[in-house]
Amino acid sequence: MGAEPRTEVTGINHITLAVSDLRRSYDFYVELMGMTPRARWARGAYLSAGDLWLCLSVDTVNPATDYTHIAFSIRSGDVPEWQLRFADADVLLWKENTSEGDSIYFLDPDGHKLELHAGNLESRLKSIRLEPYESLELFD
């Protein structure tokens, strides 16, 4: 008998965010963040950004109070433009960047913690090789 095929998660399928006001959140993600609208209905919307599928769903909102957040990729050279765009739109920031790569930590209209990050897993791993986290164990 052969070995059983390995089952594994192959990536993120979609992210759903509870929103209290669909129009306000739709405008935030489409007009301010530049996501592409794909579908909208009375209590929700599907948006895309690259390969990301984002669902906005009207519900009672209870954002995480811990460090849990969603990070979106941007180009490093675009950080100043994003900072100005967010300042002009009175977007609230929730954290200052202290890690590798340029990041902007901000809140959406319902208080979901988000981040724009210029970097990727490889650039982060390279940086922690130079300045290791406490009890760091690398697998490569």
How do beta strands 36-41 and 15-19 pair?
Answer: unpaired
| Fold agreement (1-60, 63-140) | yes
User: pLDDT value at position 67?
Assistant: 94
What are the boundaries of each domain within the chain?
1-60, 63-140
User: pLDDT value at position 69?
Assistant: 96
User: pLDDT value at position 2?
Assistant: 65
Tens digit of pLDDT per residue, the chain (140 long)?
Answer: 667 778 888 889 999 999 999 999 999 999 999 999 999 999 999 999 999 999 999 999 999 999 999 999 999 899 999 999 999 999 999 999 888 888 999 999 999 999 999 988 898 899 999 999 999 998 97
User: pLDDT value at position 10?
Assistant: 86
Architecture of domain 63-140: Roll (3.10)
How do beta strands 102-107 and 113-118 pair?
Answer: antiparallel
Which of 135, 98, 101 is closest to 116 using CA atoms? 101
Which residues touch 83 (CB under 8 Å, ≥6 apart)? Answer: 104
User: pLDDT value at position 98?
Assistant: 83
Contact of 15 with 54, CB cutoff 8 Å: yes
User: pLDDT value at position 43?
Assistant: 97
User: pLDDT value at position 52?
Assistant: 95
User: pLDDT value at position 119?
Assistant: 87
Q: What is the fold, at CATH topology level, of the domain defined by 1-60?
A: 2,3-Dihydroxybiphenyl 1,2-Dioxygenase; domain 1 (3.10.180)
